[in-house]
Chain A
């Protein structure tokens, strides 16, 4: 795959959609393309992270380690990105990501990521938008979960 194709992929990702093609080309050129075999761990929950990944092809599971055992909370496919939290907030990886097929990613290191954000504010806005959307989704999920719990509690109360 050549640079031009990678630029196409990047352009389809909302975060990068509004960035000029020449900047995307620079991003594609300076980021590393990394291939993982099926079953390989891309990042592991609790370990420090230094880069984020954009999926070019293939798919991966997002797994959260719970005291009760691992739980797959989402599946990422083409054009999804992950790993941004660890590099934005300097916290350990919040989940494990495992390739479920042969997975090709673009790896953007922390330094590269920050440099791009500093240089291209529109990218920062896009990332904010994406994260806000995720937060929104998470909040509504949380709301739904709470309602469910309340409902369950109420049901359990009735039974008692």
Chain B
């Protein structure tokens, strides 16, 4: 990268800088005239000698008032011109700055993608984030002014100075006589400020590193009660930042003080020395006044120049400090990430690894002269204990890390010099802790195939224009022209077939190999679909809903589930659910706060249910108070069974003591709400309070109808009603099939209904389609919504889906239970028959299933051969097996 910010600016925005400077220069005469004009207006038009009028301007005869009017209009025109210049220059300056900022950030991040992996042990995520976001931010503002501002302000200064020199050279020199002191002093002080500034930047970086670490270790903080310790660490860093800033302020304002002081010294000299000369009759008053005025005129550009000096010093440091962090030793050549050999060679033939050496930070050898050769289509197990270097060997083979010396070639291709297009497509690597991205399961699966966009997305009209604009801007800032919205999935592993079914089959197949299919199917059952986009599936689900009824009837399991019937009260649902009779969407109608909803209240009034619900609320409250009043507030029963939290109970007690069933109409609004909210939560089959009688249930059914009938326009989208004949887009697939509530109090209802539903799905052949919906399951940040085993399985599936020539696994299944490990190994070895597998295995005895075994110890390959032979002869293998 360019060594300093000015060369970076000139390298990438020379044209813009020239345009900016030219615009500044062109604007200058107008600005000058603008300052000149008032003098004309006062001296010539207002105070001018009436005898000199009418005057002749461009052939027009103008009297004094007209002349004044013309000059005033000219003044307004100049205001507009000057402001327009300012506007255009500022916008252009902004654009230039933002493009450069975008380019700089992109450059930095693209370098980060080429860092050798060990670098990330020294530089934390927090530091990189701060550098790329906050630290370079002010540079954008500086870029726009980098050249044009000194040119413009310097020019202004020179023009005024020249003007003064012509008027009275002595006074002009007097006006600038103190500038040399400033030129001498300021940079010296500024240097100290700069040094402190550098320190400050480092400290902020360390703070963000610390904050990042605390976030990642948050579990430990809670588990060990170390919050105060963490806070003390953070406080220490904040304190350090404070002290640096404090010193910066002291110096910075000293600079300011000196600047202002020297500026004010000017008039002091003029008044004292000039005044003395005037008194002595050696100088005219007029000249002295002119000199003072000139000094004042010079002040503005001079101040700007000094400010610019400080700003550029600041920008220079920031740039250097950031860029130096992005130039680690061993940075990967950009070519390796951009080259795409055509055709892409396959990795076949002989694997030759010779004399690999890899050391850690302390110079300890991790891999110490490892050599071996084998056929690339063999399934190889790498055995070794802790510290044997088997994991490192796997990472070296995948070229995730680069050895200090040694060579790796496969089928004559030098892997250490091969572009990532070969190493990252023909090989697949899965480490012990793979990363899962914050997107859907499907996107994570196909992540390993998104090397380049394969098909441009087609846009129309406005969208096409926006697309072109985006590409233009990206290129103007030196960013990649590839669009993230294009289709990126490489179809080569599927023989180029690019229909949806092929991809889906491939995904499910990969999930099946790692044993994740069932989990994804379960996610699918809990997923929602848009019936307009997938009408077939929605229809099939509706059929399954009907089939479920038949099945339950055939098996006499009907009591296990109470289905939604528009004309019947569902005793296994809450009163709120019975009334809404639909799935709420968004938060316009919240079932837990339904008693506050004005529309709901209006419906209650319409069917005359309000008073009865109040009575029901009163009874519920009375029962709850009776049951729970004696329990201590932290009693678990409150959590599990009460409608009223322990905190609210006293309030209800107080309310009940002052009111009786007969004077509920005297309640205040807030008290009404307290009572009214209770019965909405009642489930007759579960709570058995006997509060909801048949008459009341009938009225709720009436309210259900009125609620749907009179639903105002703005709430239309807020609820999706239950309709036996329609797919409910707001509910998940499982709820759509069940279309009802599992009955309370029926032994093993959940399990039995689950089994029947599963049968229905199997018979309808919906298993695959539902698993497909599961592919849309969002896994959360770093896959946090999956458990560790699911994450690791997903990572292995991602590698398998790629159909690599060589699959490299480094204890990839170690976090899984033994049964899953065995199953995955069996299926992968079966699938990769005739292709390469290089598996650093967790347990030595697993090697028996492989074609060939490499035994490692102390960073060396100490034996090679079939496991059956090694097991008998090799002492290292003997040790490993004995330890298991």
Contact = CB atoms under 8 A, between A and B. Distances in A.
Nearest to A104: B745
Given A2-B688, A29-B641, A22 B627 contact: yes
A32 B745 contact: yes
A36 B747 contact: yes
Contacts of B690: 2-4
Given A35-B746, A35-B747, A30 B640 contact: yes
B469 interface: no
Contact of B627 (A26, A33, A36): A26
Contacts of B687: 29
Contacts, number: 47
B688 A25 contact: no
A14 to B, nearest CB: 23
Nearest to A4: B690
Interface in B277-332: none
A34 B746 contact: yes
Interface string B592-626: 00000000000000000000000000000001001
A2 B745 contact: no
B637 interface: yes
B688 A6 contact: yes
B745 A35 contact: yes
A33 B640 contact: no
Contacts of B334: none
Interface in B732-752: 744-747
A30 B689 contact: no
Contacts of B746: 34-35
B636 interface: yes
Contacts of B623: 3, 25
Interface in A115-141: 115
A1 interface: yes
A40 interface: yes
Contacts of B627: 22, 25-26, 29
Given A33-B745, A35-B745, A1 B640 contact: no
Contacts of A34: 745-747
Contacts of B556: 37
Nearest to B635: A115
A13 interface: no
Given A33-B745, A34-B747, A42-B747, A2 B689 contact: yes
A26 B689 CA distance: 11
Contacts of A40: 747
A150 B616 CA distance: 67
A78 to B, nearest CB: 17
Nearest to A23: B630
Interface in A13-57: 22, 25-26, 28-30, 32-37, 40, 42
B694 to A, nearest CB: 13
Contacts of B641: 29-30
Contacts of A115: 636
A135 B623 CA distance: 38
Contacts of B636: 111, 115
Contacts of A33: 688, 744-745
Contacts of B640: 30
A81 B628 CA distance: 26
Interface in B633-648: 636-637, 640-641
Interface in B548-591: 556, 559
A125 B612 CA distance: 43
A46 to B, nearest CB: 18
Contacts of A2: 688-690
A111 B745 CA distance: 18
Given A25-B627, A30-B637, A30-B640, A1 B747 contact: no
A35 B748 CA distance: 10
Interface centre among B627, B689, B744 (most CB of A within 10 A): B627
B745 A26 contact: no
A48 to B, nearest CB: 16
Given A25-B627, A26-B627, A3 B688 contact: yes
A2 B571 CA distance: 13
A64 B501 CA distance: 55
Interface in B745-797: 745-747
A34 B744 CA distance: 8
Contacts of A26: 627-628, 637
Contacts of B559: 35
A34 B559 CA distance: 12
A134 to B, nearest CB: 25
B710 to A, nearest CB: 34
Nearest to B556: A37
Interface string A59-83: 0000000000000000000000000
B742 to A, nearest CB: 13
A102 to B, nearest CB: 10
B689 A3 contact: yes
Nearest to B630: A22
Contacts of A29: 627, 641, 687-689
Nearest to A115: B636
B620 to A, nearest CB: 11
Interface string B439-469: 0000000000000000000000000000000
A142 to B, nearest CB: 33
Contacts of B745: 32-35
A37 B560 CA distance: 11
A155 to B, nearest CB: 47
A21 B687 CA distance: 18
Contacts of B689: 2-3, 29
A160 to B, nearest CB: 53
A30 B642 CA distance: 9
Contacts of A37: 556, 747
Contacts of B747: 34-37, 40, 42
A33 B687 CA distance: 10
A4 to B, nearest CB: 7
A150 B427 CA distance: 81
B644 to A, nearest CB: 13
A37 B746 CA distance: 9
A14 B690 CA distance: 26
Given A3-B689, A34-B745, A35-B746, A25 B637 contact: no
A42 B747 CA distance: 8
B637 A1 contact: no
7 contacts: A2-B688, A25-B623, A26-B628, A30-B640, A32-B744, A35-B746, A36-B747
Top-3 shortest CB links A-B: A2-B690, A33-B745, A26-B627
Given A30-B640, A34-B747, A42-B747, 12 more contacts: A1-B688, A22-B626, A26-B628, A26-B637, A29-B641, A29-B689, A32-B745, A33-B688, A33-B744, A33-B745, A35-B745, A40-B747
